[in-house]
Amino acid sequence: MDQRVTVRYVESSRLPTDWGVFTMHGFEDPAASKEHLVLTMGDVGDGAPVLARVHSECLTGDALFSLRCDCGNQLEAALKAIAETGRGALFYLRQEGRGIGLLNKIRAYRLQDEGADTVEANEQLGFGPDMRDYTILGPMFAHLAITSINLMTNNPRKVMALEELGIEVLHRVPLQTDSNPHNEKYLRTKGAKLGHMFDE
């Protein structure tokens, strides 16, 4: 694990939701001034593979119901899948806008309004296409004693990042939601430039 990773466990509590009662675990990364969450249901530390989702914060999609992305729909679909299974974990990372932050994300949105795709917008602002750091997951997985997962994702980079941390990814579970006129270009860019895997 990267020696720079300073993420540490803080506290846990119940979190009742429309999909059932989860346990919410709070973690902090003082070096990055970030706080992260994991929602679990059932006994995830019993050694059996865990249905899991690694979800990066998207305030606009998760909380403000934006149609520019598929983030909010993916979050709900993952929580519903975990609840239906009765056991699983959702890792909620505070890495807004693929790691560029909320205000830069708004700047990127403006560039997209002018014709750039999501990758081009990030690059025009001086960022890489995806600035997220998945090494912060190491202490979270260790604290929860999760060693093998079935990962809900369309992003092969997440699979590789977790395997590099020593997490066994047994299966990639597609997490595809309906598109709309506002996010069609966004989804095409994910597939063409970031390697996300979608069904036709």
Q: What is the pLDDT of residues 2-20, one digit of tens each?
A: 456 789 999 999 999 999 9
Indicate if 65 and 43 belong to the same structural domain: yes
Shared-domain flag, residues 110 and 146: no
* Average pLDDT, rounded, for the chain: 91
Residue 130 falls in the annotated catalytic set: yes
Residues 71, 145 within the same domain: yes
Task: Provide the domain limits for residue 56.
Answer: 22-95+133-193
Please state the φ and ψ torsions of residue 65, each to the nearest 5 degrees.
65, 30
Average pLDDT over residues 26-48: 95
Whether 160 and 89 share a structural domain:
yes
Q: Which position among 87, 107, 130, 188 bears the catalytic label?
A: 130
| Distance from C-alpha of 58 to C-alpha of 53, rounded to nearest angstrom | 14
Annotated binding site for Zn(2+): 58, 69, 71
- For 121-135, what is each residue's pLDDT tens digit? 999 999 988 889 999
Confirm whether 124 is domain-assigned.
yes
pLDDT of residue 178: 82
Binding-site positions: 53-58, 69, 71, 74, 96-98, 118, 153, 158
- Say whether both 117 and 32 belong to one domain: no
Residue 96 near residue 58, CB atoms below 8 Å = yes
**Residue 14: inside a domain, yes or no?**
no
- Sheet containing 148-152: give its strands across: 8-17, 20-29, 34-41, 88-93, 50-56, 148-152, 168-173
Terminal-residue alpha carbon distance, the chain: 37
How many separate domains does the chain show?
2
Give the strand pairing for 88-93 and 50-56. Answer: parallel
pTM, 2 dp: 0.92
Asked about 199 being catalytic, the answer comes back as: no
